[in-house]
């Protein structure tokens, strides 16, 4: 078994498999550098007496703007309490409340009707990642390979056999030793996260380059809903901290969005969210991000303010110690002054099409977490559903793998470097990386037009051709592989956006400002190819 990715999704699969079979987990950087570790808010658990499965399903559907698969949402909600219990058993130090369900303190975030978010202060992801990683490192059946990056899946095409397409393993780059190894596997699990780094401004870590989505697409799998990229409303606006997220839980506890001074005679401080939605600061993320974007463009602002000063210093230090300390180190005392914030690319709501056991279109290939499209998030993800999806579907994916019959194990061809050489210049990669992320930010951001999308697609195709030529002639590096994957994902995002002739959830088009009466997921299918591009 090979699991690609060492965040919560990948570790959940590995830990549920390891008692029955050996598992190799690949992490392309250090194992703790995952999007999970960056998550601040928490994980949904339908635990309280004032909560219900129906309420959680309703909130998920409402946030997803009509594109949530009800069966998927119900499956996730029904298993949410078990997911939280599993994390408690794993040793995650959730914030406690003796009077709360399971002894946990539950908070509330935008789009939720009640308090149902289990959290570890404002660093839930780090607490979960540390606990899961410690358990994985201690398990004798889990082999964790850090600084190893998947290059491509090994399929029947590589064997040049006339047989139904199947995944047999993966080519993986040992980054430290600069060699590509062939890793055979009875099953491969993609748990590589999202594609936030395709945008210039993102709350995501450097690992979020869409590797799993791009590999699955190249192998012939369908992808769905790639146009729905969630922009988190509140990322810290500061030159030294371009990717520091200000958790939604802060608004859940009462922080308010305000306008800075918009000109002479205006001292700033006017609240604006009630003008955009009756739920004000507790509206779903797409509405809040679009409102901030509108106000910034309307007034020519670089940022808006998130004001939590009225919550008090003691409360802020207790509930948001990480944010308080980080901002204070940058000269911002959040107990006495508002926090400058801007929206930033945050979550990929689409991805590889899978079922509720993580099965993709390609036998032997599974996918879990942000890499996937399961129908849970629809046109917009409800806050704190992401970590929940990782645990619930990571568990069901492991169960499906354990039920598989032992497949044949053919001899896999080694990686071929006979026709390539070391690159003489790295500036091509750096330039194309910067150009891609800037054009995606400018043309395929929070508000879109058909003309911008068409311009973006034209330039992306040119970049893709340049990158493919570079890939065919030079030895692979992590930067080259990430750029190759990003340009594939960028094209999928734009092509999906061009197909959606309406505004819905995270996709807002000035050319089609109204939602259609009936809407469907956007699913792209790759034309079949007889041979791989390279091995």
Helix then strand then coil, in percent of the chain rounded to 5, is: 40, 20, 45
Residue 225's closest CA among 448, 496, 445? 496
Residue 386's closest CA among 37, 42, 153? 42
Distance CA 134, CA 120 (A): 17
Cβ neighbours around 465 below 10 Å, total? 11
504 has which bridge partners? 507
Confirm if 191 and 254 have CB atoms less than 8 A apart: no
- Distance from chain centroid for Cα 233: 15
106 has which bridge partners? 118
Confirm if 60 and 73 have CB atoms less than 8 A apart: yes
Distance CA 7, CA 32 (A): 8
Note the helical H segments in 187-242: 211-218
User: Under 8 Å CB-to-CB from 241, ≥6 apart: which residues?
Assistant: 326, 330
Helices (H) and strands (E) in the chain — how many of each?
16, 22
Selecting among 157, 285, 326, 484, the annotated active-site residue is: 285
Residue 285 annotated as catalytic: yes
Looking up tokens 């000063």 gives 309
Distance CA 67, CA 249 (A): 25
- Active site (catalytic) residues: 285
């Amino acid at each position: 078994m090979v699991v690609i990715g060492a965040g919560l999704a990948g570790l959940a699969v590995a830990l549920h498999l390891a008692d029955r079979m050996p598992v190799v987990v690949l992490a392309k950087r250090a194992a703790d550098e995952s999007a999970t570790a960056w998550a601040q808010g928490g994980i949904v658990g339908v635990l309280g007496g004032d909560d219900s499965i129906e309420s959680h399903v309703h909130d998920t559907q409402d946030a997803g703007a009509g594109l949530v698969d009800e069966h998927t949402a119900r499956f996730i909600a029904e298993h949410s309490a078990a997911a939280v219990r599993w994390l408690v058993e794993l040793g995650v130090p959730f914030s406690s409340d003796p009077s709360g369900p399971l002894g946990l303190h539950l908070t509330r975030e935008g789009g939720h009707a009640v308090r149902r978010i289990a959290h570890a202060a404002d660093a839930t992801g780090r607490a979960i990642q540390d606990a899961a990683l410690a358990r994985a490192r201690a398990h004798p059946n889990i082999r964790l390979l850090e600084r190893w990056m998947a290059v491509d899946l090994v399929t029947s095409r590589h064997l040049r056999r006339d047989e139904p397409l199947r995944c047999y393993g993966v080519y993986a780059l040992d980054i430290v030793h600069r060699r590509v190894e062939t890793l055979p596997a009875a099953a491969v699990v993609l748990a590589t996260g999202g594609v936030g780094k395709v945008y210039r401004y993102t709350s995501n870590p450097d690992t979020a380059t869409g590797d799993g989505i791009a590999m699955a697409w190249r192998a012939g799998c369908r992808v769905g809903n790639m146009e729905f990229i969630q922009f988190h409303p509140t990322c810290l606006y500061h030159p030294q901290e371009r990717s520091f997220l200000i958790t939604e839980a802060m608004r859940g506890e009462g922080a308010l969005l305000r306008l800075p001074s918009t000109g002479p005679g205006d001292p700033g401080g006017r609240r604006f969210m009630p003008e955009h939605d009756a739920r004000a600061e507790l509206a779903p993320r797409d509405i809040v991000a679009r409102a901030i974007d509108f106000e910034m463009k309307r007034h020519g602002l670089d940022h808006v303010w998130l004001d939590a000063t009225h919550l008090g210093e003691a409360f802020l230090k207790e509930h948001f110690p990480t944010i308080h300390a980080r901002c204070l180190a940058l000269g911002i005392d959040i107990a006495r002054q508002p926090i400058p914030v801007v929206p930033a690319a945050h979550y990929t709501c689409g991805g590889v099409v899978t079922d509720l056991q993580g099965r993709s279109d390609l036998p032997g290939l599974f996918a879990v977490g942000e890499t996937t499209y399961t129908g849970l998030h629809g046109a917009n993800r409800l806050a704190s559903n992401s970590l929940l999806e990782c645990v619930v579907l990571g568990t069901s994916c492991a169960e499906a793998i354990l039920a598989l019959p032992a497949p044949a194990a053919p001899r896999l061809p080694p990686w071929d470097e006979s026709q390539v050489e070391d690159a003489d210049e790295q500036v091509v990669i750096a330039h194309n990386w910067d150009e891609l992320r800037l054009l995606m930010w400018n043309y395929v951001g929070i508000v879109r037009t058909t003309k911008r999308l068409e311009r973006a697609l034209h330039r992306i195709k040119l970049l893709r051709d340049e990158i493919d030529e570079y890939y065919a002639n030079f030895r692979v590096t992590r930067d080259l592989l990430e750029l190759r994957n990003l340009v594939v994902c960028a094209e999928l995002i734009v092509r999906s956006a061009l197909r959606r002739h309406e505004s819905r959830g995270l996709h807002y088009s000035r050319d089609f400002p109204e939602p259609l009466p009936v809407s469907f997921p956007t699913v792209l299918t790759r034309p079949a190819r007889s041979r791989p591009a390279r091995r």
